[in-house]
Amino acid sequence: MKIPPMPTKMPAKAKKRRVNKEVVSQGDGLTKGMQARARIISVAETLFNKQGFDGASMRDIAAAASMQPASIYYHFSSKEELLWAVWEKGGVELLNRVSDVIAPVTDPWQRLETACVAHVSGLLDWRRANQALFLMPPWHYPESIKARVIALRDEYERIFIGLIDDLPLRSDIDKHYLRLTMIGALSWALFWFKKDKDDPPAVIAKQILSLLRSGFAPTQKPVTIR
């Protein structure tokens, strides 16, 4: 398997999941084991991106991390488990990014716009670990971690379920299809975005939401992008 190259109602404040510090931090106070685990994940992310999942062996990862191969297996029982650690880190970073920026916002439409901007900006910062949940279809996930990856994506999408539930929509709007259409349109920027030709990610997100909102908002008046 090769990782593709880059290109019920929720509460108003979505509950956030945080990655364990041993995964995301390498500051003072961490044990050597925590630092080693974080280093392995960081190196694996880089090699999986460059060489693909199949192309990057555990020996390659160990060598790049300046460790013995046996040390890798002390922290991760298989390469699939290491891949899950990489994807979990990226997915939770994206989840926390969106949750953090919408927390202080109260207006329903502004909350959704803020989330859309964070989503597109997060995907287009070219961290493939962030992008994995939206680049790869579920049937390409390794079977041993498939349920966990899907659960993480579902957890992320529940933020948008809550945001859409809070909107003043017409009664005939199917919120399920609205969410799928919106996230699909926002995420597809991964495949066509060109930094030197297209608008910044924030503008793209606002434009896409404006186009959708003009079709499903209570009023059909044009929506002005600020």
pLDDT of 21-37, one tens digit each? 434 444 456 688 788 89
Q: How confident is the model at residue 15 (pLDDT cuts 50, 70, 90)?
A: very low
The pLDDT assigned to 190 comes to: 87
pLDDT at site 127: 59
Is residue 83 within 8 Å of residue 53, measured between CB atoms? yes
The CATH classification number of 86-216 equals: 1.10.357.10
Mean pLDDT, rounded, for 183-207: 92
What percent of the chain lies above the pLDDT cut of 70? 78
Count CA atoms closer than 13 A to 185's CA, side-chain side: 18
**Token duo for residue 60:** 């390659």
Instruction: Kindly report the average pLDDT of the chain as a whole number.
Output: 82
User: How far are the Cα atoms of 2, 58, 139, 190, 197 from residue 55, in angstroms, in the given order?
Assistant: 8, 10, 20, 23, 32
Q: Where are the domains of the chain?
A: 86-216
Give the C-alpha separation, 74 to 68, whole Å: 10
Tell which wins on pLDDT, 43 or 24.
43
Band of pLDDT at residue 5, cut at 50, 70 and 90:
very low
Question: How many angstroms separate the CA atoms of 159 and 10, rounded?
Answer: 7
Would you state the structure tokens that stand for residue 191, as one six-digit string?
Answer: 């495949």
Model confidence at 113: pLDDT above 80: yes
CA dihedral 19→25→75→145, nearest 10 degrees, is 30
- pLDDT at position 24 is 42
Closest to 153 in 3D by CA, of 141, 163, 165, 144: 141
| pLDDT above 80: residue 224 | no
Amino acid at 77: S
Look at residue 45 and tell me whether its pLDDT is greater than 50. yes
Give residue 130's pLDDT.
Answer: 63
Dihedral sign from CA coordinates of 167, 171, 175, 177: negative
- pLDDT tens string 71-99: 899 999 999 999 999 989 888 988 999 99
What 8-state DSSP symbol labels residue 81?
A: H
Question: Does the structure show a pLDDT above 50 at 172?
Answer: yes
Cβ partners under 8 Å of residue 149, min gap 6 = 84, 87, 91, 132, 133, 138, 141
